[in-house]
Amino acid sequence: MILIIERFTVDAPPAARGWIDILVLIPALLYLPLLLVNRNWLISRIGLPIYTAGLFLFGVLGIGSSVINLFSMGPGFQTSCFICGLIALGYLGKTKIKYLVWRIRKAATS
């Protein structure tokens, strides 16, 4: 919601608004695996790592884009991207990130 509000209230270059649109779509698409798991259409050992990896990517992209001031997005967008990235990574926490790394290593060795 933070990104959506920023998208419509801050005057920014078109490229920066396009980046915010992409960042808004990522969480929306991340909930699809969760919905499929909840409806038993997708097993949780596949859906939950997809969600966790996507949320981690969202957090890293949000923080990274704010630090490098991607597309000259201005201080309002920079702050919003940074805060959303921190929220995403904070939600994952240390335990889920360790689990994600363990799953990636397991998949790489098999």
pLDDT in tens, 20-70: 888 888 888 887 877 777 777 777 777 777 778 888 888 999 899 888 887
Is 83 a residue whose pLDDT tops 80? yes
Q: What is the 3-state secondary structure (H, E, C) of the chain?
A: CHHHHHHHHCCCCHHHHHHHHHHHHHHHHHHHHHHHHHCCCCCHHHHHHHHHHHHHHHHHHHHHHHHCCHHHCHHHHHHHHHHHHHHHHHHHHHHHHHHHHHHHHHHHHC
What residue segments make up the domains of the chain, in order of their start?
Answer: 14-109
